[in-house]
A and B are shown apart, each in its own frame.
Chain A
Amino acid sequence: GAVVSQHPSWVICKSGTSVKIECRSLDFQATTMFWYRQFPKQSLMLMATSNEGSKATYEQGVEKDKFLINHASLTLSTLTVTSAHPEDSSFYICSASVLGTGSNYGYTFGSGTRLTVV
């Protein structure tokens, strides 16, 4: 139980276009989801925390207008990279809080999305 599905697993887009990444909780309701970014050979850095039905909380240095997060339902959060540029190329991972689901973990991770902007 407590599975998070992240889609797409990889995407290549042209500079200036926007890309949407989806994170779905398959068998539980995720009131809180987290979005991370990972640069090569580095750890994951928290970008933002999204709560269902409210605005996301962004970490310092993360552009809100660049990385749009929507958490409109208890099973879906989306991250849209707007007007993507090559420097946005990275690995993006979501995770969801599983508090109250009976899971012992507290959170579970999506499989990640490799974004390449050309």
Chain B
Amino acid sequence: SQQGEEDPQALSIQEGENATMNCSYKTSINNLQWYRQNSGRGLVHLILIRSNEREKHSGRLRVTLDTSKKSSSLLITASRAADTASYFCVMYSSASKIIFGSGTRLSIRP
């Protein structure tokens, strides 16, 4: 099945630092969403950005979308221990398909 790519696969940073994750995809999309998943738990929706938007903010989250490069980034500022989780980009393609990114495992060191 089609899958988007995320990098880095794993990221470990000090509490208080910023964390940046990137997502790339190959198809045309209607929107892109970022989800968080704590170990063994369900998906928690973080933020949605539509194909005609370039940047969205929500609290400590900042998402960008570059449809010409077919890429998106998620920035978490002033990281906290509770931010430790896996983060997935999920694309809703123009062909009405859901495409998952490969995920980034984020660890915040106290």
A105 touches B40 (CB 8 A): no
A54 interface contact, C-beta 8 A? no
Interface bits A24-53 vs B (CB < 8 Å: 1, else 0): 000000000010100001111110000000
Query: Could you tell me how many residues of chain B have their Cβ less than 8 Å away from some Cβ of chain A?
Result: 23
B103 touches A42 (CB 8 A): yes
Closest chain A residue, CB of each to CB of B1: A46
B100 interface contact, C-beta 8 A? yes
Contact partner, A59, options B1, B31, B40, Cβ 8 Å: B1
Alpha-carbon gap, A97 to B92, bound state (A): 10
Interface bits A87-100 vs B (CB < 8 Å: 1, else 0): 00001010101010
Smallest distance from the beta carbon of A105 to chain B beta carbons, Å? 6
A109 touches B31 (CB 8 A): no
Stretch at the interface among B14-22, B41-49, B59-67, B69-77: B41-49
Q: Which residues of A contact B (CB under 8 A)?
A: 6, 34, 36, 41-46, 59-60, 91, 93, 95, 97, 99, 104-107, 109-112, 114
- Enumerate 16 A-B pairs (CB-CB under 8 Å) in ascending A order: A34-B98, A41-B105, A45-B3, A46-B1, A46-B98, A93-B42, A99-B96, A105-B33, A105-B45, A106-B31, A106-B96, A106-B98, A109-B43, A109-B45, A110-B42, A114-B40
